[in-house]
Amino acid sequence: MKEFLSEDFLLQSDLAVRLYNEYAKDLPIIDYHSHLPPDVIAVDRNFPNITQLWLAGDHYKWRAQRVLGIDEKYITGDASDLEKFRKWAACVPYTMRNPLYHWTHMELKKPFGVQEILNSENADRIYGFTNEKLQDAGFTPRGLLTQFKVEMVGTTDDPLTDLADHEQIAASDFDTQVLPSFRPDKSFNLSGGDAFRLYVASLAEVSETEIKDIDSLLEALQKRVFYFHGKGCRIADHGLAHMPTIQFNRTELDGIFKEVLRGDDTRASANQDAFTGCILLALCKMYHQQEWVQQFHLGALRNNNTRRLAELGPDTGYDSIGDYAQAVNLAAFMNLLESEDRLAKTILYNLNPSDNEVFAAMTGNFQSAGIVGKIQFGSGWWFLDQLEGMTNQMNSLSNIGLIACFIGMLTDSRSFLSYSRHDYFRRLLCNLFATDVNNGLLPNDISWIGKIIRDICYYNAKNYFTVPLPQLI
């Protein structure tokens, strides 16, 4: 019987242990997509307690607590931080076989050194111990990133953002690169009513552009792309249920957009998908011109509980997996850009596990000479960034594409402790290859397999987001 969370955690053979320790364990991290707050990194103040660091904003934990019937007061409400921690500690023993059970104890072990199983009995002691640790210099936001050997962080930033926090970080002596990513989702929201009109007005102000039609909207967005590029941005990101249609009448859409700007939303909802397609296609051509990487997170069914949405707002744990048709629109969208030779490096993230093979196969349609793995099937995310979800994604990629070209894991998190997920991924990856070797499915060529593991964990991403990889053959 293996001990829980031992040094060999998730590594099911001596070969897996060797691959992990010799080739994966100590590599730096390139976290090319996260939701870490740049203002917190810029200020770099110590967190007052572990609740503020660990539970605030973590909708994974919030969902588990709601399943257990915990009152919202102790989740997002006005209970004290100690009370919230106690409630979470009481929930942890019930999370067995959920990834939260693994993540919770991995995050306590590193960086805090706590190796106990969290529960109601030890909650106060662990709360006090971790809070003392958090006052050390090595536990500020920058200190934590340094402890985890994070070389680069890609934040997620609305086009309206002035990126002053990124400038402050860049001007400091902090070694980790904290780079913005362009996330223009709100600019697509034609059916958003007054919120959309307010957003367009704010975009007009920050871009110093009078937005009166689609051409001027795109002009404003182009100015923000240039602005972001000048601040070090090289990545765009989009959260969509599915790729939008490319079948639209630009003239008709322009008229509808003008109606919306005047306060008439009559035709907005019926033309939302076409409007998204129109704006997104134009943006993707801008990204290609700037040699950016574009990311598409597809498949989430968001804000299912409208009562809670009204009370708590978005991103509070009421989203789930959608069962949208993905292939046809995705192929058409990418093909249109490819036909014009304006398809940028692209990462596709799938949220519905039944679509893994669809996404893996799609990447093979649009690769390019001179760029290894130009179109990527991204790591399992959100509901799928767990043992089975990540393993299934890697198996689908291996079977249909080339896992050797994979750019590996990202956190996609708001927590500075989520870098344990990179270690989780690396252990799974090493175990995957070791199992194949032990079963005679791969040759016992440790140095070559070790190279592939190192590339997936670090070097592929490092090259993907800087210069093209050298020719492999």
- Which pLDDT band holds residue 2 (cuts at 50, 70, 90)? confident
Peptide bond into 48 cis (omega under 30): no
pLDDT in tens, 75-120: 999 999 999 999 999 999 999 999 999 999 999 999 999 999 999 9
pLDDT in tens, 183-211: 999 999 999 999 999 999 999 999 999 99
pLDDT in tens, 233-292: 999 999 999 999 999 999 999 999 999 999 999 999 999 999 999 999 999 999 999 999
Radius of gyration of the chain (CA): 23
- Which pLDDT band holds residue 472 (cuts at 50, 70, 90)? very low
Element (H, E) at 129: helix 123-133
Average pLDDT rounded to a whole number, residues 153-159: 97
Q: What is the dihedral of CA 42, 44, 47, 53, to 10 degrees?
A: 50
- Which pLDDT band holds residue 470 (cuts at 50, 70, 90)? very low
pLDDT at residue 468 greater than cutoff 60: no
User: Are the C-beta atoms of residues 244 and 329 closer than 8 Å to each other?
Assistant: yes
What is the pLDDT at residue 1? 80
What is the pLDDT at residue 368? 94
**272-290 and 214-230 helices, crossing angle to 10°:** 40
pLDDT in tens, 424-458: 999 999 999 999 999 999 999 999 999 999 999 99
What is the pLDDT at residue 466? 80
pTM: 0.96
pLDDT at residue 467 greater than cutoff 80: no
Average pLDDT rounded to a whole number, residues 139-166: 97
User: Are the C-beta atoms of residues 30 and 465 closer than 8 Å to each other?
Assistant: yes
- Which pLDDT band holds residue 378 (cuts at 50, 70, 90)? very high
pLDDT at residue 182 greater than cutoff 70: yes
Domain 48-139 sits in CATH at 1.10.2020.10
pLDDT in tens, 389-403: 999 999 999 999 999
User: What percentage of the chain carries pLDDT values higher than 70?
Assistant: 99
Letter for the amino acid at 236?
A: A
Q: Whole-angstrom Cα distance, residue 163 to residue 181?
A: 10
Neighbours of 361 (CB within 10 A): 16
Q: Is 303 left (phi over 0), alpha (psi -120 to 50) or beta?
A: left
- Residue 109 to residues 21, 82, 106, 187, 316: CA-CA distances in angstroms? 18, 20, 5, 42, 26
Burial of 204 (0-12, 13-18, 19+ CB in 10 A): middle
Q: Whole-angstrom Cα distance, residue 469 to residue 178?
A: 23
Average pLDDT, the chain: 96
